[in-house]
Amino acid sequence: QKEVEQNSGPLSVPEGAIASLNCTYSDRGSQSFFWYRQYSGKSPELIMFIYSNGDKEDGRFTAQLNKASQYVSLLIRDSQPSDSATYLCAVTMNNFNKFYFGSGTKLNVKP
């Protein structure tokens, strides 16, 4: 079993819709959770991080964490074609112990 699991997609949504990206992790001791966006041929860039159960909002992005279910998600409201990319979920214990990345979900936002 991989430490971090994501559906590879592609997830296709129309422009203006809400895109929902999901991630599950296996280590109950995981404490920090990150979402990265990676455009084709580019390096991953951080979108958001979340440490506590519940929701965290930043502009059009909302990260949701449920530690009991070992589940973290990313919602993108008012999706734009420029959001089309691969979204990587990452988890770690505190103090920069190993980062584990999921394989990523490819998102296509259709105009």
d(CA 27, CA 39): 28
Binder to other proteins among 63, 87, 102, 105 (CB under 8 A)?
A: 102
- Spell out a b/e string for 13-40, using b for 16 or more CB atoms within 10 Å of the CB, else e: beeeeebebbbbbeeeebebbbbbbeee
> Is there binding between residue 29 and other proteins (CB under 8 A)?
no
Binder to other proteins among 28, 69, 82, 98 (CB under 8 A)?
A: 98
Min separation Cβ 101 and other proteins, Å: 4
Give backbone dihedrals phi and psi of 81, rounded to 5 degrees, phi first. Answer: -55, -30
Residue whose CB is less far from other proteins, 28 or 96: 96
- Give 66's contacts (C-beta < 8 A, 6+ positions apart): 53, 72
Residue whose CB is less far from other proteins, 20 or 32: 32
d(CA 8, CA 76): 17
Site string for other proteins, 32-71 (x = CB under 8 A): x-x-------xxxxx--x----------------------
Residue whose CB is less far from other proteins, 17 or 31: 31
Give start and end residues of each alpha helix (H) in the chain: none
Binding residues (CB under 8 A) for other proteins: these are 32, 34, 42-46, 49, 88, 92, 94-96, 98-104
